[in-house]
Amino acid sequence: MFKNNNVCILSFDIEDWFQVENLKQAIKKEEWEGQKLRVVENTRKLLSILNNYGITATFFVLGWIAEKVPQLIYHIHKLGHEIASHGYEHELIHNLSQEEFRNDLIKSKRILEGITGQKILGYRAPSFSITDWTIDMLKEIGYVYDSSYFPTSFHNRYGKLNSKASIKRCTKNGLFQYSNGLIEVPMPTLNLLSISIPWGGGAYFRLMPYPIFKQGIKTILNKNKLFTFYFHSWEIDNDQPRIKNIKLNYKLRHYTGLKNSYMKLERFLKDFSFTSIRDYLKRMDLLPVKY
């Protein structure tokens, strides 16, 4: 039973500390193999706290990670959480050709379905770098929903959707559906002085005092009855290596708030009701019966 019919969608992006965009200038993709994996321990901590509160979530998993630690992904799946795709190599979509992106989508989907034995329904673009031309490709390859659209100009990496005509219908809770049938689960923003401020989680959650963030969630829930939260497994890891030769603003985005993030996350889990994207779409009768 959800409190006041309000619900928070809970989602985690499963990638390791060295794969994030803020560290790419210091750690190249060809150096990933030489880095110590911390994702297993961090993800198991997340699974433990979710189990304590009886919460299921959606885990957007990087295909590269799934290949390295398939047992972890299978464990997440067996605990009843939803496995979805975060792409294969965490490359921003606008850095890829359409053919490269297609191959990335297919590869990650195939890996995850091979591990879970179930159809992968959802996709989230690295750094929310969605673009108009990806929508038809996602549907064509077999994804049912996307959760990449962040309707704000607050961040230079976030993608843009300019083809408003492609939106078929909106629902009362802020979700919408494209004309090809793909469902969009957008990230939440808070309107302050006519500016759309990102309010979905991640660094915003770490950097902001929890009481203020909590009040913002309540404001969004009062409007849409739905709040979609995202977080990364590395964001609870204050012991991860510190990379010095990166831009100061990247350093602040990546490392600030790590020390208290686990405790903050636990407060959040106590205060609201949660579900996975798959289960929420089922509740809203937005998934085909076979899923």
- Summarised one tens digit per residue, pLDDT across range 196-254 is 888 999 999 999 999 999 999 999 999 999 999 999 999 999 999 999 999 999 999 99
Higher pLDDT, 57 or 172: 57
Residue 198: C-alpha distances to residues 43, 60, 155, 159 (Å): 24, 19, 9, 13
* pLDDT score, position 241: 97
- Helix (H) or strand (E) holding 170, with range, is strand 167-170
Q: How confident is the model at residue 166 (pLDDT cuts 50, 70, 90)?
A: low
CA 55 – CA 139 distance, rounded (Å): 29
Provide the pLDDT for residue 154. Answer: 62
Paired tokens of 98: 């359409």
- How is residue 118 annotated by DSSP? S
pLDDT band at 173 (very low <50, low <70, confident <90, very high): confident
pLDDT at 37 over 90: yes
Would you give the DSSP letter of residue 192? E
pLDDT at position 19: 97
Total tally of structural domains belonging to the chain:
1
| Token pair of 218 as six digits | 């309540």
Confidence category of residue 167, pLDDT binned at 50, 70, 90: low
Q: What mean pLDDT do residues 72-92 have?
A: 97
Does residue 245 form part of some domain?
Answer: yes
pLDDT of residue 161: 75
CATH of the domain at 50: 3.20.20.370
Asked whether residue 290 is assigned to any structural domain, the reply reads no
**How large is the average pLDDT for residues 98-114?**
97
- Domain-located, residue 175: yes
Residue 291: which pLDDT band, with cuts at 50, 70 and 90?
confident
Task: Please give the model's pTM, rounded to 2 decimal places.
Answer: 0.95
DSSP label at residue 163? -
Q: Which residue has the higher pLDDT, 73 or 163?
A: 73
3-state secondary structure of 115: helix
- Which of 119-128, 256-265, 282-291 shows the lowest mean pLDDT across its residues? 282-291
What's the average model confidence in pLDDT over 186-200?
A: 88
Encode 202-240 in three state secondary structure.
HHHHHHCCHHHHHHHHHHHHHHHCEEEEEEEHHHHCCCC
Q: Which residues, at least 6 apart from 125, have a Cβ–Cβ distance to it below 8 Å?
A: 87, 92, 93, 134, 146, 148, 159
Residue 1 pLDDT grade (very low, low, confident, very high; cuts 50, 70, 90): very low
**Has residue 209 been placed in a domain?**
yes
Residue 83 covered by a domain: yes
Cα 192 → chain centroid: 24
Whole-number Å distance between alpha carbons of 97 and 277? 29
- For residue 85, pLDDT over 50 is answered with yes
DSSP 241: P
Could you list the residue range(s) of the whole structural domain that residue 147 is in?
3-283
Residue 74 lies in a domain: yes
Count Cβ atoms within 10 A of the Cβ of residue 71 and give its class: 0-12 exposed, 13-18 middle, 19 or more buried.
Answer: exposed
Torsion of CA 66, 93, 19, 38, to 10 degrees: -30
Q: Would you say residue 69 lies in a domain?
A: yes
Percent of the chain with pLDDT over 90: 79
Q: What is the pLDDT of residue 32?
A: 97
Looking at the domain assignment, is residue 289 inside a domain? no
